Homo-oligomer: A and B are copies of this chain.
Amino acid sequence: MHDQPQLLLFDIFGTVVDWHGSIVRELTALHPEVDADAFALAWRAAYRPSMERVMSGAQPWTRLDELHRASLDALLPRFGLAHLDDAQRRHLNGVWHRLDPWPDSVAGLTRLKSRFTIASLSNGNLGLLTNMAKRAGLPWDCVLSAEVFKAYKPDPAVYLGAARVFDLDPARAMLVAAHHDDLAAARACGLQTAYIERPLEFGARQPKDVSPEPANTMHARSITHLADLFGCPV
């Protein structure tokens, strides 16, 4: 039996906000001729390799905004958008600051905040996460980011660094995420873990397996369901 955590740390992209749907909506409005579903998936596919170049030391510390932009520049010709100028590219890159939350996110976080300290723990940079929270109404007690630790998840420095910020034994912190690999890395650092089902993270064309992984401390259908499981009042 685990002690209750004091600190809930939230993965953001896919867990709290719908990156796929938000990018599809913005791109479709701007460039209806482009296959927005394929575009969103291709952009996201460049995410992990771009961070691995930083973590391998091949590239010095680089914020996610800049990694997203480099991936975007490489992607645009494949989608017939090589003609976009710098201002248009900067605007499009900013879509990651404008991702919409899943319908349960704000209500669930607000309930959990009454019981726990709640913080983001994302590979997104601080400015991105702050702009997103302000626009979407995500009520963080603290915006924590890979940028604070100069390391990207799944590097242990991120999970352990977040517990250290609050002077907590890692077992008193819980990572909440829609990705089993992120949760496994947190668990290896001693954190508790909660899985959130986001079957449509990659869009309706690519439903995701959201089967439980027994190693997780908790498994919830949504963030409001997690608040239910913790008995947080509505």
Contacts and interface: CB of A to CB of B under 8 A. Distances in A.
Interface of A: 65, 117, 119, 125-127, 129-131, 133-134, 141-144, 147-148, 165-167
A8 to B, nearest CB: 13
Given A143-B143, A147-B165, 17 more contacts: A65-B167, A117-B134, A119-B130, A125-B165, A126-B148, A126-B165, A127-B165, A127-B167, A130-B142, A130-B165, A130-B166, A133-B141, A133-B142, A134-B141, A141-B143, A142-B143, A148-B148
Contacts of A166: 127, 130
A159 to B, nearest CB: 15
A133 B117 CA distance: 11
Pairs of residues from A and B, 4 with the lowest C-beta to C-beta distance, nearest first: A130-B142, A127-B166, A126-B165, A142-B143
Contacts of A144: 126
Contacts of A147: 148, 165
Contacts of A117: 130-131, 134
A144 B148 CA distance: 10
A167 B130 CA distance: 12
A142 B167 contact: no
A126 B168 CA distance: 13
Contacts of A130: 117, 119, 141-142, 165-166
A34 to B, nearest CB: 26
A72 to B, nearest CB: 16
14 contacts: A65-B167, A117-B131, A117-B134, A126-B142, A126-B165, A129-B142, A130-B141, A130-B142, A130-B165, A134-B141, A141-B143, A142-B143, A143-B143, A147-B165
A133 B166 CA distance: 14
A131 B117 CA distance: 8
A129 B148 CA distance: 15
Contacts of A148: 126, 147-148
A142 B131 CA distance: 9
